[in-house]
Structure 1
Amino acid sequence: MLSGTRVVSFTHFLQGPSATQILGDLGADVIKIEPPQGAFERGWSGPDAFVGGVSVFFLLANRNARSMVVDLKSDDGRRVLRRLLDGADVLIESFRPGVMDRLGLGYEELRTTNPRLVYCSLSGYGSEGPYKDRPGQDVLVQSLSGLAAATGAAGGPPTPVGASVVDAHGAALGALGILAALHGRARTGEGTRVESNLLSAALDLQVEPLSYHLNGFRGERSPSGVSSRFYKAPYGVFATADGYLTISLTGTDLLAKVLDDPWFTGVAPADEYARREEVNVRVAALLAEHPTAYWIERFTEFRVWHAPVHDFDDVATDPQVRHNETILTIPHPEAGDVRVPAHPIRYGGERPGLRRVPPALGEHTREVLGELGCSPADVDALVAGGAFGAQS
């Protein structure tokens, strides 16, 4: 869908590369600009997860892209980059605010020679304001945004979510903003600047509970483990005789039937929120009497909203996950077959596929220089000058 759209990416860590990968999945020609030592994510991976010496953290967010090594402090490097950016459709960057301006690659500078450029900046907190120079990282923003404080049982510590959900949502918002700007440019002929940040993404993730709170509804974390401060019980994870099961939004009239307990008929629908701790404790005691399989069969019969609690081994073999083809296998020349989540959306019944494996450092530097009109001799001279990496 984005075939013919050139995206130049100055991104690192997770938010920026993930946003860029969405565009690459959709067919854009993504050129990842890397320093001579390589992007951060090439040398780091959460649990030291390297396959064949290749970072899984790099592999999960850099497919369908080309890699070009450029020393951004080099005059030759910046000069060639300006030529590349003068013909680009999109620039996406995730440096701290002010870095691109200091390099002479800020939006106001570039728009003078390429007014059609869509310029996307992804940061931790925004390009201005008191936090603009703070390190923007997922778990820090989960804490700052109230997400960690909202998670877990009353009396327990604030609990971050067990995944980089803010990075992932920030990436999706960045890609959404770029697509909107490209659509607007098709009508006006003018590019624009797009900005998103992790703090805004974290608050957007909490649009429902935050809206309740801002309008005077002050929910508290539940001592009995209700998963939300603002929902009636039962809502959350309950222990069974041999495992766990999640129940969602089931009225007391139905609970009386499915749990075969007339106590629930004494809780009027209007009192379900006020008495949610009583309901939760009662449900928890009853579920502990039978194994998970028993409750799944019973809840299915009564059409109670429920789900088993899966770990990642269960997820990888789940029949719906397999049917949806949600896991993509990347045949990497060094790492071998690597499995990662695929592009999450289908278009016309088809999911975007793998056009390029995540690239080696500087793999396409010479190729891109040739596309900019440099002769082989010019390319050799530029590389020899050191601005484009010894491995190019």
Structure 2
Amino acid sequence: MAHTMTTGTALPLDGMELSVSGPPALAGTAVGHLQALGARPAPTDRGGPAGHARLVLAGQGEAPVPARVRWADLCPPQEVYDEATAQAACGVMTVHGQRDGGPRGLAVDYAATAAGVLTVQGLLAALIGRARGGAVASVSTAADRAALLTVSQYVAAAGADEGEAAPTGPGGPPFTTAEGTRFELEALEPAVWAGFWRVLGAPQEAIRAGWRPFQFRYATACAPLPDVLHTVTRARGWEEIRRAATTSGADVCRLHTLAERAAEGGATGAPWTLAPRGEAPRTVPDQLPSAARPLEGMVVLEAGRRIQAPLAAHLLGLLGAEVVRIEPPGGDPLRGMPPTCSGLSARWLALNRGKKAVEIDIKSPSDRRRLREMAAGADVFLHNWAPGKAEQLGLDSDALSAANPGLVYAYTSGFAGRELPGAPMGTDFMVQARTGVGEAARPAGEPPAPSLMTLLDVLGGLLGAEAVLAGLLTRERTGRGVRVDSSLLGAAEVLTAPALRRAAAGRDPRRPAGFRHPLRTADGWLAPADACAAEAAGHRERIRRLPTSEAVADLRARGLVATAVSTDLAALANDPRLAGALTRDAHGAPAVPSPWSLS
């Protein structure tokens, strides 16, 4: 039996009240997103334990849905106490520091931001499950779970049986011009890369040697380029660099400041858009088995490449959806990207394990008809094709919604069609450069540099899943389909929001010099909690002479919070702090745990 729903809800959480307790560092991102989805705030209590926040959504005549977000769930609370220690224990500092030759903390609150988005996802999923007759009573997540998710592809690759496909070591963009302008470069094809450097007169040997580390920097979080390439750009002016890019087909973007981005109105509004579609109500299942996951029985078609869309679909799969990947004839070429486990790319498995796959040639009219037929029976169609490609192929929202008015059509992109002056290609490092992330990610006193960890691709994937869940809940409450759009630009705005608020208020938007720099020990590194960092740094010389475990104990005896920095991603599975939370999948690739507990 089925029923149709035709309420006039404009936003999925209209009519619901949100109450919050606990620290803003944990709850702030979630609160902002839930309010953007229609929840109205109740009186807020900022009291309670410092280690967790509690959020409760309640609607008239509905049982409340509570969510808890903590710093530590997998790790002991004395090991993961705040953002700095979450980054240290879960490998974020090591990945971000690859290009520097040693662990470095991100000056943005990456783990807490990801945990906030995951909290919203859990609440939306719980409400979808309830609307379908399920029995999710509460949601919990944590910054340590979120941090592991953000580095899952790096952890998977580190635990494979073979080495990387490209050399690793310190180094990478951005480049610097003769005037001191720092800029990012994007070239997706070797001919474009070579053409750019030839115009600038770089030696052929350096051009050849630089391509592979540059090409794989998304995977390795570093790019040990020949020094002569940096020397070449330092001898050229910015206008000459731009002409070389135009001539070769490459793309360049100077690093914009947070003050510039704040002046443009950055970080205003929601990081996604929801547009209800379709005139005919959709018939939906009447009952979901009480033990089922919230999206059980739903079908997600995913036509995604790299990270952003595949990660969004992976999260929907963890919530119970059947995910069907749309791959080109011969399969996704990234399946064979080294390092591999049982013949499959470890990184690819981190984002795509458990999905089904169908090969579709989108250049073929008959295959496009086949894809439209598949979409007619799906709940979600998700893609991250280049701007305009879906329209060109007749696979845009209008076309697919005509066949399936109840479809949630999701597009994850670089800029979501928003016009930023001089906006570059919508890839992770270019969007970081254009939006000031390169400045926000490093403390004052250091040259700005976009992180070579794929910050925005991952956070963009999280926002993509959040947007789809908001669309599905809207559909459950209205019976109509929805178009949802998310982007790397939205991810950048969520991540830099605190810095942009400081800039807009005329304050220094960057964190102080030395912020989240781990301290050397005799055999490794430790990271003090942010509140203890200044005092811990005063013991630097003694710490350097002690093994890490003794140095951590020494600081704790002085009332300071600190934890060891995980510098070997391959050893994370055996880290006693994580107590066996990492497992291996059927192919032997390391797998991080689910980011939520739904009970």
TM-score norm. by structure 1 comes to: 0.70
TM-aligned CA deviation for residue 136 of structure 1: 2.5
The 5 Å alignment of 1:250-265 reads 250=531, 255=535
Q: Within 1, Cα distance between the matches of 2:399 and 2:528?
A: 54
Distance in 1 (CA, whole Å) between partners of 2:466 and 2:512 is 35
CA contact (8 A) 2:440 2:499 kept: no
User: Hey, what's the Cα distance between the residues in 2 that align with 1:36 and 1:251?
Assistant: 55
**SS of residue in 1 equivalent to 2:591:** strand
Query: 1:119, 1:307 → 2: CA distance?
Result: 43
SS in 2 for 1:344: coil
Query: Is 1:226 the counterpart of 2:481 in the alignment?
Result: no
Q: In the superposition, relative to structure 1, how do residues 289 and 330 fare at CA in structure 2: closer, same or farther (>3 Å)? A: closer
2:483 is the alignment partner of 1:193: yes
Question: Following TM superposition, by how much is the alpha carbon of 1:302 offset from its aligned partner in structure 2, in angstroms?
Answer: 4.2
Say which of 552, 565, 573 aligns to 1:309.
Answer: 565
* Structure 1 unmatched runs, 5+: 228-235, 260-279, 349-392
Cα 1:124/1:27, change in 2 over 3 Å: same
2:576 corresponds to which residue?
319
Matches within 5 A, 1:287-366: 287-288=543-544, 290-311=546-567, 312-323=569-580, 325=581, 327-332=582-587, 337-348=588-599
Does the C-alpha gap of structure 1 residues 143 and 286 become closer, same or farther in structure 2, counting only changes over 3 Å? farther
Offset of 1:128 from its aligned partner? 4.3
Q: CA deviation at 1:126?
A: 1.1
1:319 shift after superposition: 2.0
Residue pair 2:415, 2:488 contacting (<8 A) in 1 also? yes
Alpha-carbon distance in 1 for matches of 2:424, 2:411 = 16
Among 355, 366, 371, the alignment partner of 1:81 is 371
Q: 1:90 aligns with which of 354, 374, 380?
A: 380
How far residue 284 of structure 1 moved from its aligned partner, in angstroms, is 3.6
Q: Distance in 2 between matches of 1:77 and 1:8?
A: 14
Residue of structure 2 in register with 1:161 after alignment: 451
Q: Give me the whole-angstrom Cα distance separating, in 2, the residues matched to 1:220 and 1:23.
A: 35
Indicate the residue corresponding to 1:381 in structure 2. Answer: none
Q: Is the 8 A contact 1:24 1:63 kept in 2?
A: no
Sort the Cα spacing of 1:222 and 1:283 in 2 relative to 1 into closer, same or farther, 3 A: farther
Give distance in 2, aligned partners of 1:91 and 1:160. Answer: 31
Deviations 1:305-352 (A, max 9, x none): 2111111244222223234x2x232213xxxx222323322222xxxx
Paired residue for 1:272? none
Q: Quickly say closer, same or farther: Cα 1:72–1:158, change in 2 above 3 A.
A: same
Task: Quickly say closer, same or farther: Cα 1:341–1:249, change in 2 above 3 A.
Answer: closer
Is 1:13–1:40's contact at 8 Å kept on the other side of the alignment? no
Instruction: Indicate how the Cα distance of structure 1 residues 251 and 70 shifts in structure 2: closer, same or farther if over 3 A, else same.
Output: closer
1:298 maps to a residue whose letter is D
2:436 matched residue in structure 1: 146
Q: Identify which of 313, 318, 328 aligns with 1:20.
A: 313
**One-letter code aligned to 2:437:** L
Structure 2 spans left out of the alignment, 5+ residues: 1-293
User: Residues 423 and 434 of structure 2 are in contact (CA less than 8 Å); yes or no, is this contact kept in structure 1?
Assistant: no
Larger radius of gyration: 1
Deviation per residue, 1:253-312 (Å, 9 max, x gap): x95xxx7xxxxxxxxxxxxxxxxxxxx5x4545644655333322332344221111112
Q: For 2:421 and 2:334, how far apart are their aligned partners in 1? A: 24
Letter matched to residue 101 of structure 1: E
CA drift of 1:222 comes to: 4.5
| TM-superposition CA deviations, 1:111-137 (whole Å, max 9, x none) | 222111101100011134358985332
Asked if structure 1 preserves the Cα contact closer than 8 Å seen for 2:424 and 2:430, the reply is no
Q: For 1:200, what is the secondary structure of its paired residue?
A: helix
Matched, 1:245 2:534: no
| Residue-by-residue CA offset, 1:12-57 (whole Å, 9 max, x unaligned) | 11111111111112221211111113224225x3xx3233442223
Q: Does 1:120 align with 2:410?
A: yes
The answer to whether residue 171 in structure 2 is matched with residue 171 in structure 1 is no
Matched AA of 1:213? A
User: Aligned-pair distance for 1:221?
Assistant: 5.8
Percent of pairs with identical residues: 32
Match of 1:270 in 2: none
Distance change in 2, residues 1:292/1:78 (3 Å): closer
Pair 300,20 (structure 1): closer, same or farther in 2 beyond 3 Å: same
Partner SS, residue 68 of structure 1: strand
SS at match of 1:163: coil
Candidates 474, 495, 510, aligned match of 1:184: 474
State the SS of the aligned residue for 1:161.
Answer: coil
- Residue type at the aligned position of 2:590: R
What is the RMSD of the two structures over their aligned residues, measured on CA atoms? 2.7
| Distance in 1, Cα, partners of 2:441 & 2:370 | 48
Q: Which of structures 1 and 2 has the larger relative contact order (alpha carbons within 8 angstroms, sep 6+)?
A: 2
User: Residues 328 and 3 from structure 1, CA distance in 2 versus in 1: closer, same or farther, beyond 3 angstroms?
Assistant: same
- Equivalent residue, structure 2, for 1:34: 327
**Aligned with 1:136: secondary structure?**
coil
User: Is the CA contact 1:29–1:65 (under 8 Å) kept in the aligned structure 2?
Assistant: yes
**Secondary structure, in 3 states, of the residue corresponding to 1:315?**
helix
DSSP-derived class of the 2:438 partner = coil
For 1:98-117, what aligned pairs fall within 5 Å after superposition?
98-117=388-407
